Structure 1
Amino acid sequence: MPALTIGEAAGVEKPNLEDEQLVPGEKLLTPDEARASERLAEKRSSEPGLLRFFLMLNAGLVLTAISIVVFKTPNHFAFGGTSGVSVILSSLVPDLPVSAFMWILNIVLVVLGFIFLPKKAVGWSIYASIALSAFVSLVELVYPSNVSPTGDMWLDLCFAVILPALGSAIVFDIGASTGGTDILAMILKRHTSLQIGKALMMVDIGIVLIAAVLFGPRTGLYCVLGLFAKTLVVDDAIESLHLRKVCTVISQQPAEVEKYIVRNLKRSATISYGYGAYSGKRVTVLMSVLSTREAMRLRLFVRKIDPGAFITIVNSSEIIGKGFRDMN
């Protein structure tokens, strides 16, 4: 004898959903509203305009430059990349600032990029390399001291990781890069069969080991922490920029919830039908992907019109489709 569901055991008849004609919800928008929603969806899906792209790219580079001059250089934090090499070279040749070595290294990488890569492939990376060197020089003029601003090595390490991680997340989010070793990675990828991620990681580890030898084990261990923390924080920062809420609502007022999502939040939703395993009653399930603020508004609205509604809200940073700009 087959096992009974809870609903069947309670004497509730299970609905035969396959035999029912499930029709889509009625059109909630007028033709003008539908066209306006279509334009809004296209705007949400579009890439940033040139001006916004340029401003965000430079904002990310400025944050990176501040971290290099204010927090990395005074503590000899060399986490890898051109900034790490520049910090080491500046300590060996104290007459030259970190920015001088960044100019030298980035110009060499730019020349290599022009030689070995198509110009279109390295356009913004070349700009980022030059601009980062210029911003480091500018920050050195504003903050000429080689002394830690806090006097606390651990606090400096936190900001030396957080600021460039946030800067890199902003830059990566618009589809650009901070230049420097990214150009080297593109060259290796195009002309060799090396695994680029592992190759660059080995270079970064080598830079950290050199820093440990030059500046002592204490600084070296801080650099090791910074190297691994940088990777984790960058990933988390990028995910937070893309974070969206996947909201699922089961309510006794599904039409009102649907109207609120479409008319007030200017979003769409997927509607499906099911039945409660305990009650055996048919239910309408609405699923919509929203921003954090939109999800909060939806939650408050649903709780207001139907205090007994069932709501689940989960995070997602991988959203691909119309109305969402996929940069992952």
Structure 2
Amino acid sequence: MNIKRAIKEYTFVAIGTLLVAIGIFYFMAPQNLAAGGVSGFSIVLTSYIPLPISAVTLIINTILLIIGFIFIGKEFGGKTILSVVLLSFYLFLMETFFPISNPVTDEILLNLFCGIIISGGGLTIVFNQNASTGGTDIIAILLNKYLNLNIGTGMLAADAFVVGSALFTFGISKGIIGALGWFLNGLVINYFIDGLTIKKEVVIVSDKATEIKNFIFSEIDRGVTIYKAQGGYTNKPKDIVVTVVGKKEYFSLKKKLKTIDSDVFVLVRSVHEVLGHGFE
């Protein structure tokens, strides 16, 4: 990995982790909303032990990372370790210099939604750098390795334990709201991940395929595939140009197609993941 790319990835990990810390500290923790994960379990444990949430989070994540290295191997790289340390460090800074005595808003559901959206956005940024903030994903991998349990199911089980402990500690009302947050967290992360990675597959049928291909090469800098086809009604030979572009690139292409060929036929599909040259 080159230095510029490494700096960029570690910077995004730091920014994403900061958002996670803000969502936890200012919106979730003040109202004892445990929506799964190590942060949720830390909120529960602070009701029983006289330690701040930053210290509890660091202790649990450190234990899980050690277990991960022992039983799984070196699958947890430097970016994950950085995120684990930064999460507790950010929480410590907030506890020390920017503490709050009351929830940000008086509405518990509003705090839940804000906390989930902010921390979910942060987690998405971290995940997109091939890192994590530690926690239940380590437990899920262990369950998968030794019990052949699906990783998604393993995370579900680990988070269900956290939500159950919150229900026991804080009562049915906050336990149910925490469970709602646990459900919403998955939806928010999936939504953000799709929004960051989604591309457009554009299928173009035109008599001016060469001009369209040259525009895509020179102005959008994407590759194309050209298929030979035959019109079903006219029986005339046709060229089909297929390309995959980003959302901004698609709008440039769409605008240009109208000027190149007024009779162009275009089919557009959303693609959730693209692997290969020019993409991740």
Which range moved further: 131-140 or 209-218? 209-218
* C-alpha deviation, 1:66, in angstroms: 0.7
- Match among 144, 164, 168 for residue 119 of structure 2: 164
Q: CA deviation at 1:87?
A: 0.5
3-state SS, counterpart of residue 46 of structure 2: helix
| 1:81 to 2:73 alignment | no
Residue 82 of structure 1 deviates from its aligned partner by 1.1
Matched, 1:69 2:29: no
Picking from 156, 159, 171, the partner of 1:216 is 171
What is the percentage of aligned positions where both structures have the same residue? 32
| Aligned mates of 1:197, 1:294 — CA distance in 2 | 34
Q: Which amino acid aligns with 1:319?
A: V
Q: How far does residue 55 in structure 1 lie from its aligned partner after superposition? A: 0.6
For 2:105, the equivalent position in structure 1 comes to: 150
Q: CA deviation at 1:191?
A: 4.5
Counterpart secondary structure, 2:76: helix
What is the rounded CA distance, in whole Å, between the counterparts of 1:128 and 1:302 in structure 2? 45
Structure with higher RCO (Cα < 8 A, 6+ apart) = 1
| SS in structure 2 of the partner of residue 179 of structure 1 | coil
Relative to structure 1, the CA distance from residue 222 to residue 47 in structure 2 (aligned partners, 3 Å threshold; closer, same or farther) is farther
1:111-122 matches, within 5 Å, as 111-118=66-73, 120-122=74-76
Unaligned runs of 5+ in 1: 1-45
Partner of 2:54: 99
Does the residue aligned with 2:242 lie in a helix, a strand or coil?
strand
Q: Report what 1:269 is aligned to.
A: 224
How far did 1:251 drift? 2.2
2: CA distance between counterparts of 1:224 and 1:197? 17
1:49 corresponds to: 5
- In the alignment, what sits opposite 2:82? 127
Note the alpha carbon deviations across 1:141-185, whole angstroms, 9 max, x for none. 343114221222222111221122222221221211111233333
Q: How many residues align?
A: 279
> What is the CA-CA distance between 1:74 and the residue it aligns to?
1.2
Decide which structure has the larger Cα Rg and report it.
1
**2:184 counterpart of 1:229:** yes
Deviation at 1:202, TM superposition (A): 1.8
TM-score (norm 2): 0.90
Q: For residue 136 of structure 1, report the CA deviation from its aligned partner.
A: 1.6
Task: Compute the displacement of 1:254 (Å).
Answer: 1.8
How far does residue 81 in structure 1 lie from its aligned partner after superposition?
Answer: 1.5
Q: Which of 271, 274, 278 is equivalent to 1:319?
A: 274
Taking only aligned residues, the RMSD between alpha carbons, in angstroms, comes to 2.3
